[in-house]
Amino acid sequence: MSRRIEIFDTTLRDGEQTPGISLNVKEKLEVARQLEKLSVDVIEAGFPIASKGDFNAVKTIAENVRGPVIAGLARANFKDIDCAAEALKAAARPRIHTFIASSPIHMKYKLKMTEEEVLEAAVAAVKRAKSYVEDVEFSAEDASRSDVEFLCRLYEAAIKAGATVINVPDTVGYTTPREFGKLIRALMERVPGIENVKLSVHCHNDLGMAVANSLEAVACGATQIECAVNGLGERAGNAALEEVVMALDTRKDFFGFTHNINTKQIYRTSKLVSTLTGVAIQPNKAIVGANAFAHESGIHQHGVLAEKSTYEIMTPESVGLTTNRLVLGKHSGRHAFAQRLKELGYELAQDELNKAFERFKDLADKKKEITDMDIEAIVEDQVLKWPEHIELEYFQVSTGNQSIATATVKVKIDEEVVEEASTGDGPIDAAYKALERACNINCKLVDYSIRSVSSGKDALGEVTVKVEKDGRTFLGRGLSTDIIEASVIAYTNALNKTMFSNGNGKAREVI
C-alpha cells in the first residue's frame, strides 16, 4: 500500500511574512476556506502572539473552517503557547506548533543559550502545549545547520514529552537534496520513537531547491511537507505547494506516494492568493504561470495538436484550468453566466451572483469578447471587495502634454458627500491627491502596478496600489477597461482600509 504524504499549508503564516504582504481577517478566512476546498491536511493559520490581528485571524479560522487541522505557531515559551491555545479553542482539530532554534549559530548569537538550555525549553514547551491539545508539532529551527547528535537528542526529548509531529526545517534554504536526504535517514535511524510520530519538513527556497529538498525528504521517509501557495514566504519563499503536489501526482511512477489534494482547485487557490496578496505570478511559473500550458513554437504547436502528451506532461484541466474560451456576451443570460461560474469553481450567494452579473453585463457592453480571465477578475473584485465606507460617486480628469493635470472627485463617506479637486503630476497623481483631500487622509504611495487581465485593446486592466500610513501598509485593487478609473478605484479601496482596518502588525518569526 502506498504511503500518503500530508500537505501542511503555511501560506497564512510563513507566506504572509513575505515582505509587503499583510492580510486582514476577512482575507485570511477567504484563503482558509479555499484551502479547505483544496483539501490540505493542515492549515497553519498564523502566529497568535504576534499581534491582535493574527490572534483574531487564527481564532476566526478555528471557528469557521472544520475540515483540515488548524495550527497556530508559538515560540518555546508559555506565553506564546497559552495564547495559541486560546486562539485555537474552537477548532475541531487544533494543533499547537512550537519551535526553538537548534543550530550553533542561532543558539550562540540569537538565543544566547546552551544546548542543555534549549533542550530543557523544548521539553517544557511541548509539555505545556500537550496540556491544551493532543496534537503538538515541534520544530528545531535551522535544523539543516544543526549538529546531528544534538538534533537527535532534541527530537527524542520532544517525542518523549508528547510531540506528535517532528518537523525538520531548512530555515535558510542552505541544504541540498543529497544532504537533506541523508539527514532525514539519520533521524529515522537514530531517534527512538520517531516511527510513532509524523515526520515533517519545512524547506525554504534561498538556493532554489525547496521543492527538490522536500521531495527528497519524503523519498527518504518524511510523511508531511510544509509548503505555501505560489511559494510565498520569507526571503525567497517556501516550497511551492502546487509544485510539490503536482510532482507527486504526475510522477506517481517514481515516488509511489498518494496525497489528499483536490488538484482541480490548484489554479483557483493560486489566483485567489495572488489577488489578495498583490504578489503577481510570474508568467513562466511552474503549474500556475500564464505560460505553463502555452505553446508558441510551431514545432510544439504541431506536436500538441497531434497529441497533447508530446509537450504536456499534465493537463490544464488537472489543475483547474480550461483551454476553452468563454463564449458569453451582452446577450447572455443569468443562467448561462451562473453555469459558467460554477464550471470555473465559484459558488456565490444570490446577492453576490447578482452583483457579479451586473458587472459582467457592464463589461459586455464595452468588450466584444469576454474570456474566463475576465470573468474571474470580475468575481474576485466583486466578492472580495472591502466594505465601502468610502464610496466613489464620480471622478473627472483633465490632462495633456501642454497643461497641468487636474482632477475632481466626489465621494460619499458613510452619509457625508464630499467633493474636492487637485492638480498633480499627471491625471492619476491629481486624482489621488483629490481623493486624499476629500477623505482627509494623508498617505504615502509606496507601490503602483498595472497589468492586463486579458488580451486585446479592450482588455480589463487591474491596478494594485500599496499605501503607507502610520507605519503600516495597505493594499488596494481596482479593475476596469479604463486604467485611470481602475487606478482611482484601487486608491479608494486602499483608503477604505486605512480608515477601517482592524490592524494586523506582527512580529517576524521564522522556522
Domain ranges of the chain: 6-277, 294-320, 321-383, 390-500
* pLDDT value of residue 471: 80
The partner residues of 135 in beta bridges, in order of sequence, read 95
Residue whose C-alpha is closest to residue 223's, from 164, 269, 282, 150? 164
Amino acid making up residue 277: T
76-80 long-range Cβ contacts below 8 angstroms, 24+ apart: 76/100, 76/121, 76/122, 76/124, 76/125, 77/121, 77/125, 78/124, 78/125, 78/128, 79/49, 80/48, 80/49
pLDDT of residue 507: 35
Question: Which pLDDT score is estimated for 508?
Answer: 36
Distance between the two ends of the chain, CA-based, in angstroms?
Answer: 33
* Residue 344, phi then psi, degrees to nearest 5: -85, -5
The answer to whether 498 and 438 have CB atoms below 8 angstroms apart is: no
> How many CA within 13 A on the CB side of residue 285?
21
Tens of pLDDT along the chain (511 residues)?
A: 579 999 999 999 999 888 888 899 999 999 999 999 999 999 999 999 999 999 999 999 999 999 999 999 999 999 999 999 999 999 999 999 999 999 999 999 999 999 999 999 999 999 999 999 999 999 999 999 999 999 999 999 999 999 999 999 999 999 999 999 999 999 999 999 999 999 999 999 999 999 999 999 999 999 999 999 999 999 999 999 999 999 999 999 999 999 999 999 999 999 999 989 989 999 899 999 878 877 555 565 566 567 777 878 888 889 987 653 345 666 677 777 887 787 666 778 888 888 888 888 888 777 666 777 678 777 766 665 656 788 899 999 999 988 999 999 999 998 899 999 999 999 999 999 999 999 999 889 999 999 887 777 777 888 989 898 888 888 888 888 899 999 999 999 889 888 765 444 333 344 5
Which H, E and C letters describe 268-330, residue by residue?
Answer: HHHHHHHHHHCCCCCCCCCCCCCCCCCCCCHHHHHHHHHCHHHCCCCCHHHHCCCCCCCCECC
**Which homologous superfamily is 390-500 in?**
Alpha-isopropylmalate synthase LeuA, regulatory domain (3.30.160.270)
Q: 243 with 287: CB under 8 angstroms?
A: yes
Q: Are 90 and 98 in contact (CB under 8 A)?
A: no
Cα–Cα distance measured from residue 381 to residue 366, given in angstroms and rounded to the nearest whole number? 18
| Amino acid letter, 416 | E
How many residues appear in the chain?
Answer: 511
Fold (CATH) for 6-277: TIM Barrel (3.20.20)
Hey, do 6-277 and 390-500 end up sharing a CATH topology, with the first three levels equal?
no
Distance CA 241, CA 247 (A): 10
